[in-house]
Amino acid sequence: MDYSPGLRGVVAGETAISTVGMEGTSLRYRGYDAIELTKNSTYEAVASLVINDSLDEADYKKSFSKYYLQISKDKNLNQLLEEVKEKLSPMDVIRTVVSYMGELTTLMKKKLDNQDKVELTARINATVCYIIASYHKDDCDELDDSYLVASSMLPNNANKEKIEALDDMLILYAEHGFNASTFAARVTASTRSDLTSAIVSGIGTLKGELHGGANEEAVKLVNSFNSIEEAENEILKMLEEKKKIMGFGHGVYKIQDPRSDVVKKWVESLIETDFSKNRFEIAKKIDEIMTKEKKLFPNVDFYGGLLLSELGFEVDLFTPIFVAGRSVGWSAHCFEQREQDTLIRPAAKYIGIEERE
């Protein structure tokens, strides 16, 4: 059998949910261009599309609102949340609380109707959003009717532009084929385990810096420089020492990451302070150097961290926001994997000693 390290290029299953990197640049959710969806749809509509192939957002909004309200009033959950927040990082808090919440039904059923799927996904989504909101000092209890999910994670005083920017970010995070965390979730679902277990598998996988944690590392790198000149000198030195620069290149996209330009434009639009302007100029210089020296383009993580900073989020909440967006993609893949009902069990290339007495 042919061997491909990291399963690069190996077709490991079939999906009708998304296509990633076709013709080198595109990202489509069930046939719709994801970039166009940021212009014409809300995250709730995209969530419905990813889950059950419909852009009608009404059911998803209704379910999300119901569960967000329930969670906010759940005394046991809020007590647990306060306890674990004192001991764990936000990603570990999300993994723990999502596991605690469980679900209304399980994937043990062979067939779930669309309402089941929406209910299950919205419950997980609402849980993650509520946890993120709990880290803000200001209240986050006034939800925008047009952008329920995005507004649930921002303080009540957030302006419309910031809510729309976060909504676009969530749309671009919603789904991305057989990436590491989605594949982990599908492996768990393939055993006929429950949805919560599959989502927790995804959360644990996304936590790694080579996957969801890349946005945190990218913005930490940008923040480490005080000037464009310092950034240029240090990045060239890092490249000479063959150190990895987070936020550049992609395992599937070969020409550019189509999501990056959308995020970059939002960063530029939201800049209000000299500090933010300087940070953006530093980021653009790093982008320029990576293009010139390594022929590498920025992926969604590079400018994504800057956008989340402009929206007022602390660095350790960047990956949790990724979870909030990607939870619908994970759920859709789990539903699809269970309907296919095929256990994922690849072979391994043995490289040890052949035989011992």
Please pick, among 250, 257, 287, 333, the residue that the annotation labels catalytic: 250
Length in residues, the chain:
357
How would DSSP label each residue in 31-48? TEEHHHHHHH--HHHHHH
- Counting Cβ atoms within 10 Å, is residue 72 exposed (0-12), middle (13-18) or buried (19+)? middle
H-only helix segments in the chain: 34-40, 43-52, 58-72, 75-85, 90-101, 114-133, 148-152, 160-173, 180-190, 195-206, 214-223, 228-240, 258-270, 274-294, 300-310, 318-340
Coil/strand/helix, residue 111: coil
Q: How far apart are CA 126 and CA 90, in angstroms?
A: 16
Coil/strand/helix, residue 170: helix
How far CA 44 is from CA of 13, 47, 280, 343, in Å, comes to 27, 5, 30, 31
How far CA 28 is from CA of 22, 35, 117, 171, 308, in Å, comes to 9, 8, 21, 11, 24
Q: How far apart are CA 70 and CA 101, in angstroms?
A: 12
CA 177: distance to chain centroid?
A: 12
Please pick, among 33, 53, 74, 211, the residue that the annotation labels catalytic: 211
Q: Is 211 a catalytic residue?
A: yes
Q: Is 301 a catalytic residue?
A: yes
Tokens of 337: 């994997």
Which residues are the active-site residues?
211, 250, 301
